[in-house]
């Protein structure tokens, strides 16, 4: 089954266009290096929790929106190779400051165990 990289971040609402532009550029690189799908989602209905929540995980501030994203890879080996290539790619290593606080981003790699759809 596929391998998934998942991400949750807090992005200032005013930086939406800049975030989408950077995500699009990174997505192109990941697809070039073996990813099969890149999905970026701008929070629309992300409730604040009392014990835990996406918002709490990334310490979202009043002017920020929670972003949920994932990248699908055919397997972990392809993902690991793709990440290594992306880390060296000058298109991603511009030295520009990202339009969000990347220190509060939560991310991880996941082995897919179930994949269902209506198709």
Query: DSSP string spanning 10-47?
Result: EEEGGGHHHHHHHHHHHHHHHHHTT-SEEEEEE-SS-P
Place of tokens 């550029």: 25
**Residues in the chain with pLDDT values less than 70:** none
pLDDT in tens, 37-67: 999 999 999 998 999 999 999 999 999 999 9
**pLDDT recorded at residue 96:** 82
- Contact status, residue 66 vs residue 55, Cβ threshold 8 Å: yes
Query: 23: Cβ–Cβ under 8 A, 6 or more apart, which residues?
Result: 38, 40, 69
- Contact status, residue 41 vs residue 111, Cβ threshold 8 Å: no
The structure's pTM equals 0.93
Domains and CATH numbers, the chain: 3-96+104-111 (3.30.70.100)
């Amino acid at each position: 089954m596929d391998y998934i990289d998942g991400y949750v971040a807090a992005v200032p609402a005013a930086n939406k266009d800049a975030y989408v532009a950077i995500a699009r550029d990174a997505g192109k690189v990941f697809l070039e290096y073996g990813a099969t799908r890149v999905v970026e989602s701008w929070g629309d209905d992300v409730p604040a929790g009392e014990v835990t929540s996406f918002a709490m995980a990334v310490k979202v501030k009043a002017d920020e929106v929670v972003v949920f994203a994932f990248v699908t890879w055919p397997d972990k080996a392809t993902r690991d190779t793709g990440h290594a290539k992306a880390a060296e790619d000058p298109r991603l290593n511009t030295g520009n400051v990202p339009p969000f606080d990347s220190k509060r981003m939560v991310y991880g790699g996941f082995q897919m165990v179930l994949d269902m759809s209506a198709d």
